[in-house]
Amino acid sequence: MKKLIITMLMTIAGLTTLMAQQTHDIKGVVTDKRNEPIVGALVIAEGTDISSITDIDGKFLLRDVPVDAKKVIVESIGMETTDAKIDRPIMMAARPKRLSLVVEAGMDWSRYTAEGSDSKNGYHFGVGMEVRMSKRWAFRPMVQLANRGAEYNFTEGSYSYKETWNPLMLDVPFNFLVRYDLARNMSLVLSFGPVFSWGLSGKVKVSETGKEDAEYDIYSKDYESSWGNYKHALLHPLGFGMTYGIGVEYKKLMINVSGKNMGIIAEDEGPGDVKEHNFVLGASVSYRF
């Protein structure tokens, strides 16, 4: 009987030792491509429910992982899911996601250049997406609501004349971005691409000495022509051109200076369409989510 008990105890001890040998602990560090630690990433041993959260240094510890688990899976907000083979200690590089939501807002200085106007202050804000095509190149289409226009001022003696063009536009720029590293987490960003615009609404306010102030709708065909007995819109709502810019990006926040050269159609010079040109200089702040 005593011999049987001793044999059973030895068997249980052997099974316990064998089970202990079938699991092990895994530790490692999760970083991005710039070797910065990823905080709060979820690390899971593949095929199990054993998981851990990375600490402020990007470190994790998985306890009692079966030896037949060959990989760990890493998930983090704003990063693509990454997996790696188990090789203690593990140094992993989580990859930035290729698709980001972008919001942008800024101030504009606008003028019409066909006849030489004065500049007018405006604004723009919008939302878009950024698609990372490579480490350096990205494509960023946006939809922006923009208020811009121009002013015409003339003064001679006691006589003065002033026009204020105040259109509200829907801009759709298609920008290509190229990034150059300046320092850790900081990049120089160059952008360029086509932009299309559609006039939504807007007024022209006219002030002239000796006359009552007048106001005209820019896009409705109710403007009396001085060239003949007909009415037309002051500007066609469609515009198109090029946009270009330069900025500095720190992590996901970018400060940018940009320009737009827009061609639009004017109809206030008599029969036939006359092209007007709108030059816009802007300063903006954008953020990628």
Pick among 2.40.50.140, 3.40.50.720, 2.60.40.10, 2.60.40.4130: CATH of 23-93: 2.60.40.4130
pLDDT > 90 in the chain, percent? 42
Q: What average pLDDT does this structure show over 27-36?
A: 82
Distance between CA atoms of residues 127 and 143, nearest Å: 6
Give the lowest-confidence range in 14-28, 88-102, 237-251: 14-28
Domain boundaries, the chain: 23-93, 99-288
Does the pLDDT value for residue 263 go beyond 90?
no
Class of domain 99-288: mainly beta
Give 186's pLDDT tier (boundaries 50, 70, 90).
very high
CB-hemisphere CA count at 13 Å for 75? Answer: 6
pLDDT in tens, 62-75: 898 888 888 888 88
Specify the 3-state DSSP secondary structure of 62: strand
C-alpha dist (Å) from residue 33 to 48, 60, 91, 205, 248: 27, 18, 11, 55, 20
pLDDT > 70 in the chain, percent? 81
Question: What value does the mean pLDDT of the chain take?
Answer: 83
The whole-number pLDDT of residue 262 equals 87
The whole-number pLDDT of residue 220 equals 78
Strand partners, 39: none
287 touches 262 (CB < 8 A): no
- Higher-confidence residue of 38 and 257: namely 257
Q: What average pLDDT does this structure show over 98-125?
A: 91
Distance between CA atoms of residues 44 and 162, nearest Å: 68
Give the lowest-confidence range in 65-69, 89-93, 202-206: 89-93
Give the lowest-confidence range in 118-122, 139-143, 227-231, 278-282: 227-231
Distance between CA atoms of residues 43 and 74, nearest Å: 5
Does the pLDDT value for residue 201 go beyond 70?
yes
The whole-number pLDDT of residue 274 equals 47
Q: Could you check whether 23-93 and 99-288 share the same CATH topology?
A: no
The whole-number pLDDT of residue 219 equals 83
Does the pLDDT value for residue 114 go beyond 70?
yes
Q: What average pLDDT does this structure show over 228-234?
A: 61
> What is the DSSP-derived secondary structure letter of residue 79?
B
30 touches 41 (CB < 8 A): yes
Task: Collect all residues with Cβ–Cβ distance below 8 Å to 200 and sequence separation of at least 6.
Answer: 167, 168, 169, 170, 237
pLDDT in tens, 133-184: 888 899 999 999 999 889 989 898 889 999 899 999 999 999 999 999 998 7
